[in-house]
């Protein structure tokens, strides 16, 4: 189902959780709300679910398929909500947890006992927990509990699935497995899914689109590819993965760093303005000799070989610390040792001039 949010603000006392948020979510989309804690992502999800009401404003609307649901209580919105800490009913078996949404229906709409049983069993099958129906939540692992919570939400056949940091309390390995499973489940069920997460890797990997949030506002909305490679702001580039930041000045329309020119020209910017230059660790090359105008002298301070790439820490002559990722082959070729003097060269940089963000 398509969901449209228009001019939503929400404050708790003096704290602003959402500031004039507008967003359109397409039918069948898996979209992530990504941001640090306190950025407003969970509040936005709860506003969509109806668990929080937005600040009163005649222009603000929450539309499900074009219909304003502002006055609709949570139970009538047909949303499946999954909580970070599962919120399973502790005193009920797995079976009863999943059956809950069917059992609480008014008598006229309640399925027969046999239909409930069939439904629960097919959901247990879906979450690969057949035979766990009689267990209680505390007898399950975290990953299993979250799958039960998802099955419970799916039992009411929701039009939209809202997941609030669903894998946040799980360890890395389980998290990755469940993430892939969620993506295939989403494709299979053909629902609209909104996933709140602070894990950029998770958001970039499973989503059709990512909404990057910061300080109650949306910083950028786009496909994972776009937000990663075309970040709209300093916050976005900084939040999505490791990045080196250099503080330079603009000279003749170009950012200058230690008298080295980087990045594209920005002619409209007057000279002397501060420029922040962001370079991802894998966009820097290391050479034994200077390779051109942009090379900077640096000293190797740390080499970490654990991982797919080797992570090299270097210190520039300005005492700035930078990180470079090189492949294992490159590391071999370079024969890098601690304390070696080398030259680094940014291949690709993004420049933000703080006072000129439009």
Name the residues that contact another protein, by CB under 8 A: 49, 51, 73-75, 79-81, 83, 85-91, 100-101, 104-105, 137-138, 141-145, 149, 152-153, 155-156, 169-171, 173-174
Nearer to another protein, 154 or 275 (CB): 154
In the complex, least distance from residue 158 CB atom to another protein, rounded to whole angstroms = 9
Nearer to another protein, 157 or 271 (CB): 157
Nearer to another protein, 145 or 345 (CB): 145
Radius of gyration of the chain (CA): 25
SS (H, E, C) the chain: CCEEEEEEEEEECCEEEEEEEEEEECCCCEEEEECCCCCCHHHHHHHHHCCCCCCCCCCCEEEECCEECCCCCHHHCCEEEECCCCCCCCCCCHHHHHHHHHHCCCCCCCCCHHHHHHHHHHHHHHCCCCCCCCCCHHHCCHHHHHHHHHHHHHCCCCCEEEEECCCCCCCHHHHHHHHHHHHHHHHHHCCEEEEEECCHHHHHHHCCEEEEEECCEEEEEECHHHHHHCCCCHHHHHHCCCCEEEEEEEECCEEEECCEECCCCCCCCCCCCEEEEEECHHHEEEECCCCCCCCEEEEEEEEECCCCEEEEEEEECCCCEEEEEEEHHHHHHHCCCCCCEEEEEECCCEEECHHHCC
In the complex, least distance from residue 213 CB atom to another protein, rounded to whole angstroms = 22
In the complex, least distance from residue 265 CB atom to another protein, rounded to whole angstroms = 50
Nearer to another protein, 49 or 206 (CB): 49
In the complex, least distance from residue 268 CB atom to another protein, rounded to whole angstroms = 49
Nearer to another protein, 65 or 89 (CB): 89
> For residue 332, what are the contacts with CB-CB under 8 A and spacing of at least 6?
none
Task: Find, among 175, 228, 90, 172, the residue nearest to 163 by Cα.
Answer: 175
In the complex, least distance from residue 159 CB atom to another protein, rounded to whole angstroms = 13
In the complex, least distance from residue 194 CB atom to another protein, rounded to whole angstroms = 14
Place of tokens 């070989």: 305
Nearer to another protein, 35 or 137 (CB): 137
Nearer to another protein, 104 or 338 (CB): 104
Nearer to another protein, 83 or 132 (CB): 83
Question: Do the beta carbons of residue 163 and residue 82 sit within 8 Å?
Answer: yes
In the complex, least distance from residue 320 CB atom to another protein, rounded to whole angstroms = 37
In the complex, least distance from residue 91 CB atom to another protein, rounded to whole angstroms = 4
Nearer to another protein, 44 or 344 (CB): 44
In the complex, least distance from residue 168 CB atom to another protein, rounded to whole angstroms = 9
Nearer to another protein, 123 or 296 (CB): 123
Q: Distance between CA 165 and CA 178 in Å, rounded?
A: 12
In the complex, least distance from residue 63 CB atom to another protein, rounded to whole angstroms = 19
Q: Distance between CA 246 and CA 266 in Å, rounded?
A: 17
């Amino acid at each position: 189902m398509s969901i449209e949010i228009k001019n939503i603000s929400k404050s708790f006392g003096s704290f602003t959780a959402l500031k004039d948020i507008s967003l359109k979510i397409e039918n069948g989309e898996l979209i992530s709300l990504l941001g640090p804690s306190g950025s407003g992502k969970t509040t936005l999800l709860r506003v969509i679910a109806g668990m929080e009401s937005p600040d009163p404003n005649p222009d603000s609307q929450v539309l499900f398929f074009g219909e304003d649901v502002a006055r609709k209580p949570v139970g009538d919105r047909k949303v499946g909500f999954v909580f970070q800490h599962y919120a399973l009913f502790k005193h009920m078996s797995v079976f009863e947890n999943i059956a809950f949404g069917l059992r609480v229906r008014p008598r006229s709409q309640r399925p027969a006992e046999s239909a409930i049983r069939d439904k629960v069993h097919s959901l247990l099958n879906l979450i690969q927990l057949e035979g766990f129906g009689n267990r209680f939540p505390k007898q399950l692992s975290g990953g299993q509990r979250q799958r039960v919570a998802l099955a419970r939400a799916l039992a009411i056949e929701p039009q939209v699935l809202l997941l609030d940091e669903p894998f946040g309390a799980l360890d890395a390995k389980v998290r990755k497995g469940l993430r892939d499973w969620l993506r295939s489940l989403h494709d299979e069920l053909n629902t609209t899914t909104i996933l709140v997460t602070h894990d950029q890797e998770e958001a970039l990997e499973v989503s059709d689109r990512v909404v990057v949030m910061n300080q109650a506002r949306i910083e950028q909305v786009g496909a994972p590819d776009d937000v990663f490679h075309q970040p709209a702001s300093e916050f976005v580039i900084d939040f999505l993965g490791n990045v080196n930041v250099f503080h330079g000045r603009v000279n003749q329309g170009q950012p200058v760093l230690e008298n080295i020119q980087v990045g594209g020209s920005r002619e409209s910017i007057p000279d002397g303005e501060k420029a922040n230059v962001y370079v991802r660790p894998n966009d820097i090359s290391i050479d034994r000799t200077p390779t051109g105008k942009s090379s900077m002298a640096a000293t190797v301070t740390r080499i970490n070989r654990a991982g797919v790439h080797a992570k090299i820490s270097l210190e520039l002559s300005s005492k700035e610390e930078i990180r470079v990722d090189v492949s294992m082959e490159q590391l071999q070729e370079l024969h890098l040792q601690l304390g070696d003097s080398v030259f680094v060269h940014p291949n690709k940089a993004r420049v933000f001039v703080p006072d000129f963000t439009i």
